[in-house]
Structure 1
């Protein structure tokens, strides 16, 4: 979710991807050849939510090697390259002991993931199938936010 605005819809991708049991949303990503964004968002939240520190390093290393290196098999684009560089710099700094920097790494990864969500939403929001796949989550969250007073987010215009 966009941290500047509670009504930002690009953050709904996290929920939609987690609830995409029939993989209808994934099919939209595949149709536009950006399925790596779908997988990154899904995998990133699994790493962030991981409680078992024993597996944390393994999962984080896999995430970086799979999506964030230039020569990664599923290298992703990001909207803000600075966020990716900041995350990678922190990752490199703590590569020998990722568990000790879990909180900081998770915060940077969440920031990077929000950036990727924004990019994905921006690229797919014109597609009718995408809109239909996102509709239940968008409606559910808009009901929760109906009583909230929020100002427009300067960084995210997907409202």
Structure 2
């Protein structure tokens, strides 16, 4: 709502189509009809409307509600980053918090570190206690003990990302 008011104050052209499509997507996500929400998002893009922070928030919340859809959230995160780099779009704390929660729960630690960096650059509050509890609940025994002698490059990167997040959480 605050973004809409800012757009109106700055006398920018408000694209009502984006808001209409956001309502449709939000409805499908609230009803946990994610395939229909994905179709609506595709149709929105094909009609030339660019998704905004509210669109992504609805989609991430919908995926989190049905659980286990970490790959889909990762794809959305990639699109969010590219849009943030291409335009001056800023994401709010609530959206980034829900993305971070999904990544920590799913074990996508390199993506979680990216979200943490974005939130820290934006000087947003991050509830480390919540993420420490979540990490301990789902990944308590992960990467404990000695490092295996033979690891692929991707395994090394995953381990480093997990240890970086663990250190950030204060779990060393």
TM-based fold match above 0.5: no
Which of structures 1 and 2 has the larger relative contact order (alpha carbons within 8 angstroms, sep 6+)? 1
Which one has a bigger Cα radius of gyration? 2
- TM-score, normalising length from structure 1? 0.28
